[in-house]
Amino acid sequence: MIRELSYFLGFQVKQTNGGLFISQPKYTKDFVNRFGLDNKKHTRTPISISFKLGHDPTVKSVDQILYRSMIDSLLYFTASIPDITFSVRVYARFQADPKESHLSVVRHIIRYGNVIIDHEILYSRDSNLDLTGYSNADCVGNVNDRKNTSEDVSMLILIL
């Protein structure tokens, strides 16, 4: 009655002799459809480099519940697609008073999910893996409120 793990908490797991492949194709498809962005133009990058991040009080605010649900879904999505982690964490800062410009960038990140729907992470059995963590602190670097910010990254690194 006990079989190989194939699906767990929204993650699809494929077990092979070479290792484990982890992906979230069903979650990605449902996630993009839930916010009505499945028929929209796909994007090749998780965030636009031309957009200036900031809090502009003159721009119209958007529904906080919608914005928070998008951010929460994206945070879960970062478990299998780590290249969106930075973008999601940056825009998670604006959950208290999201603006139309922030919502458009979050939608951009979601549309990126259409491009990477079939991407998988391989955890190889033959590799020597090492968990490494990095952190960075930026003292008074936030131009909006002059607060200190810090970032950290935990990475599973292949040692050859």
37 and 22 part of one domain: yes
Q: Is 1 within the bounds of a domain?
A: no
> At residue 69, does pLDDT exceed 80?
yes
Tens digits of per-residue pLDDT, 111-149? 887 777 777 877 777 776 666 666 666 666 666 666 666
Q: What domain range is 160 assigned to?
A: 128-160
Shared domain for 17 and 70, answered yes or no, is yes
Average pLDDT, the chain: 77
Report yes or no on whether pTM surpasses 0.75.
no
Question: Which phi and psi (to 5°) does residue 93 adopt?
Answer: -65, -20
The tokens describing 92, both together, are: 């998670």
Q: Quick one: pLDDT band at residue 46, thresholds 50, 70, 90?
A: confident
pLDDT tens digit sequence for 71-85:
988 888 887 777 888
CA within 13 Å, CB half, 60 = 4
Q: What values do phi and psi take at 67, rounded to 5? A: -60, -45
- The answer to whether residue 21 sits within a structural domain is yes
When divided into structural domains, the chain yields a total of 2
Query: Is residue 2 one of the residues assigned to a domain?
Result: no
Calculate mean pLDDT across residues 66-73.
90
106 lies in the same domain as 146:
no
Question: Within a domain: residue 16?
Answer: yes
Strand blocks (E) in 3-148: 7-8, 11-15, 19-23, 121-124, 128-138
- Strand (E) positions, 17-148? 19-23, 121-124, 128-138
Same domain, 120 and 137: no
- How does residue 68 score in pLDDT terms, banded at 50, 70 and 90? very high
Angstrom distance (rounded) from CA 121 to CA 104: 28
Query: Are 72 and 88 found together in one domain?
Result: yes
Beta bridge partners of 124: 19
Contact criterion met (CB below 8 Å) for 151 and 134: no
Q: Is residue 110 one of the residues assigned to a domain? A: yes
**145 and 111, same structural domain?**
no
